[in-house]
């Protein structure tokens, strides 16, 4: 079985509030994205990793030794990122070798991804075609027409609501085909396997990991650092 990895890394990190991308911020001695990439390169079943990041991005220009060493791995290549996440994922998918059967799309800003979570998600994907780790939604959700202040329209029952994580794993051919048949503009796609849903395919959820947080704000970085130091 061949596994390819797509790391979308072309975002602007606008919510992080720093001059440089969150992906090149130092986390326990290495850039965030270096931790993410290392987790996948440590696997023998990973045949290729494609990073979607534009030539002028902080990721492409990062010179930290730990990051540059990882880029020397022959399985790694970089392609220009697109205007949206979905466009970046599509460009990376097209760059994967044709003989790769399964693809895992993973947020580059999730540096604490574990081998166990990858294994469980991959096993479920092989069984059903596509799989994603998910966490139950713990907060009460209200529907209202924003921006705020706005009147509450209703409370959304949360018993059947799940928050998506990554990696999102599917057959490469299925995901590429879903891109071709996507009935909505790609800028409206918020989730990689949403494309498979729109194409009529099945997507299954597996229990996620609270440690597999996505770094979006400065507070997330503090939590990630604490979790990483705790595990050492």
CATH number at 184 reads 3.90.550.10
The CA distances from residue 173 to 30, 94, 96, 214, 220, in Å, are 34, 10, 11, 27, 34
For the chain, how many structural domains are there in total?
A: 1
Q: What percent of the chain has pLDDT over 70?
A: 100
pLDDT, position 10: 87
Please check whether residue 46 is in contact with residue 40, taking contact to mean a CB–CB distance below 8 angstroms: yes
Q: Rounded CA gap, 130 and 188, in Å?
A: 20
| pLDDT band with cut points at 50, 70 and 90 for residue 102 | very high
Burial of residue 46 (CB within 10 Å: 0-12, 13-18, 19+) is buried
pLDDT, position 200: 95
pLDDT, position 212: 98
Q: Rounded CA gap, 102 and 119, in Å?
A: 13
Tell me 202's DSSP state: -
CA 197 to chain centre: 18
pLDDT, position 144: 96
pLDDT, position 11: 77
Please check whether residue 201 is in contact with residue 178, taking contact to mean a CB–CB distance below 8 angstroms: yes
pLDDT, position 167: 98
| pLDDT band with cut points at 50, 70 and 90 for residue 201 | very high
| pLDDT band with cut points at 50, 70 and 90 for residue 19 | confident
Neighbours of 161 (CB within 10 A): 13
Find where tokens 């997330």 sit: 220
Please check whether residue 115 is in contact with residue 209, taking contact to mean a CB–CB distance below 8 angstroms: no
Please check whether residue 168 is in contact with residue 195, taking contact to mean a CB–CB distance below 8 angstroms: no
Q: Rounded CA gap, 165 and 98, in Å?
A: 26
Domain around 39: 3-230
| pLDDT band with cut points at 50, 70 and 90 for residue 14 | confident
pLDDT in tens, 171-181: 999 999 999 99
pLDDT, position 15: 79
Within 13 Å and on the Cβ side, how many CA atoms surround 203? 22
- What value does the mean pLDDT take over residues 15-31? 91
- What value does the mean pLDDT take over residues 193-201? 96
Q: pTM score, two decimals?
A: 0.95
CA-nearest of 123, 103, 127 to 176 is 103
pLDDT in tens, 145-167: 989 999 999 999 999 999 999 99
CA-nearest of 230, 227, 212 to 109 is 212
Q: Rounded CA gap, 172 and 178, in Å?
A: 10
The b-or-e profile of 193-202 (16+ CB within 10 A means b, else e) is: bbbbeebebe
Average pLDDT, the chain: 95
Show the tokens assigned to 192.
Answer: 């990689």
pLDDT, position 17: 79
pLDDT, position 232: 77
pLDDT in tens, 27-73: 999 999 999 999 999 999 999 999 999 888 999 999 999 999 999 99
CA 190 to chain centre: 11
């Amino acid at each position: 079985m061949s596994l390819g990895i797509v790391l979308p890394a072309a975002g602007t990190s606008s919510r992080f509030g720093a001059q440089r991308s969150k992906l090149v911020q130092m986390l326990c001695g290495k850039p965030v994205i270096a931790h993410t990439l290392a987790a996948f390169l440590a696997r023998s079943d990973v045949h290729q990793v494609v990073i979607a990041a534009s030539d002028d991005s902080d990721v492409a220009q990062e010179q930290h030794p730990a990051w540059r060493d990882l880029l020397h791995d022959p399985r790694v290549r970089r392609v220009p990122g697109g205007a949206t996440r979905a466009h970046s994922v599509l460009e990376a998918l097209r760059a994967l070798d044709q003989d790769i059967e399964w693809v895992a799309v993973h947020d580059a800003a999730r540096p604490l991804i574990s081998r166990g979570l990858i294994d469980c998600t991959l096993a479920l994907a092989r069984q059903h075609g596509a799989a994603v780790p998910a966490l139950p939604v713990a907060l009460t959700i209200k529907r209202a027409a924003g921006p705020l202040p706005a009147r509450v329209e209703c409370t959304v029952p949360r018993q059947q609501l799940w928050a998506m994580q990554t990696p999102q794993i599917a057959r490469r051919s299925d995901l590429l085909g879903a891109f071709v048949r996507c009935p909505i503009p790609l800028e409206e796609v918020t989730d990689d396997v949403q494309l498979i849903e729109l194409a009529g395919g099945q997507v299954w959820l597996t229990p996620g990991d609270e440690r597999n947080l996505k770094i979006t704000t400065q507070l997330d970085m503090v939590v990630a650092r604490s979790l990483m130091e705790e595990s050492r």
